[in-house]
Amino acid sequence: MLKYQLSLVKIKLLLMKKFTKILLALFLFPAFLFGQNLVPTDIEFSEPDNLTQRNCSSMDVLEQQLLDDPAMEQRMKNIERFTEDFVRTNTNTHRSVITIPVVVHVVYKTTAENISDAQIQSQIDVLNEDFRRTNSDQTNQWSQAADSEIEFCLASVDPNGNPTNGINRVKTKKRSFGADDSMKKSNRGGVNPWNTSDYLNIWVCNLGQGLLGYAQFPGGSAATDGVVCLYTAFGRVGNVNAPFNEGRTTTHEVGHWLNLRHIWGDGNCNADDFVSDTPLSDAANYGCASGHTSCSSTDMVQNYMDYSDDGCMNLFTAGQKARMQACLAGPRASLLSSNACNGGGGGPTCTDGIQNGDETGVDCGGSVCPPCQGGATCTDGIQNGDETGVDCGGSVCPPCQGGGTCDDPTNLYSQSRKGGREASLTWNASSSASSYNVRLRQVGASTWNTVSTSSTSLKATNLTKNAQYEWGVQADCSGGTTSGWASSSFTAGTSSRLTPGTIGMSVYPNPANQLFTVEFNTELNEEVEIFIINVTGKLMSRTQSTGTAGYVDFNTEEFSNGIYLIKIQDTQGNTDVKKLIINK
Of 48 and 192, more confident: 192
Q: What is the mean pLDDT of residues 52-63?
A: 85
Q: Do domains 2-86+97-264+318-337 and 506-582 have the same CATH topology?
A: no
SS3 401: helix
Rounded distance between C-alpha atoms, residue 581 and residue 566, angstroms: 10
Residue type, 362: V
Of 352 and 581, more confident: 581
pLDDT value, residue 214: 96
* In the predicted structure, residue 95 carries a pLDDT above the cut 70: no
401-498 CATH pick, 2.60.40.10, 3.40.50.2000, 3.30.43.10, 3.30.365.10? 2.60.40.10
Q: What is the mean pLDDT of residues 496-512?
A: 60
What is this structure's pTM?
0.56
Condensed to tens digits (0 to 9), the pLDDT of residues 117-138 reads 999 999 999 999 999 999 999 9
Cβ pair 530, 540 in contact under 8 A? no
The set of residues, in sequence order, having a beta carbon less than 8 Å from that of 129 and lying 6+ positions away, is 135, 136
* In the predicted structure, residue 100 carries a pLDDT above the cut 60: yes
Q: What 8-state DSSP symbol labels residue 236? A: S
What mean pLDDT value characterizes the chain? 78
Q: What is the mean pLDDT of residues 170-189?
A: 93
pLDDT value, residue 444: 75
pLDDT value, residue 188: 92
Topology given in CATH for the domain delimited by 506-582: Immunoglobulin-like (2.60.40)
Position 348 confidence tier, pLDDT thresholds 50, 70, 90: very low
* In the predicted structure, residue 35 carries a pLDDT above the cut 80: no
Rounded distance between C-alpha atoms, residue 421 and residue 372, angstroms: 39
Classify domain 2-86+97-264+318-337 by CATH number.
Answer: 3.40.390.10
pLDDT value, residue 44: 34
pLDDT value, residue 364: 65
Q: Domain ranges for the chain, please list them.
A: 2-86+97-264+318-337, 401-498, 506-582
Of 458 and 44, more confident: 458
Active site residues: 253
Rounded distance between C-alpha atoms, residue 347 and residue 337, angstroms: 15
* In the predicted structure, residue 429 carries a pLDDT above the cut 50: yes
* In the predicted structure, residue 382 carries a pLDDT above the cut 60: no
pLDDT value, residue 500: 38
| Best mean pLDDT range from 83-92, 249-258, 342-351, 568-577 | 249-258
Condensed to tens digits (0 to 9), the pLDDT of residues 58-82 reads 888 898 888 888 888 999 999 999 9
Closest CA to 537 of 563, 516, 561: 563
Q: What long-range pairs does 544-549 form, CB within 8 A, spacing at least 24?
A: 545/520, 547/522, 548/521, 548/522, 548/523, 548/524, 549/520, 549/521, 549/522
SS3 552: strand
> Where are the extended beta strands (E) located within 429-538?
433-442, 449-453, 457-460, 468-477, 486-491, 496-498, 506-508, 515-521, 528-534
Based on C-alpha coordinates, what's the Rg of the chain?
26
Can you name the residues that pair with 469 across neighbouring β-strands? 442, 490
Rounded distance between C-alpha atoms, residue 32 and residue 22, angstroms: 11
Q: What is the mean pLDDT of residues 198-210?
A: 93
Would the CA dihedral through 7, 8, 12, 13 be positive or negative? negative
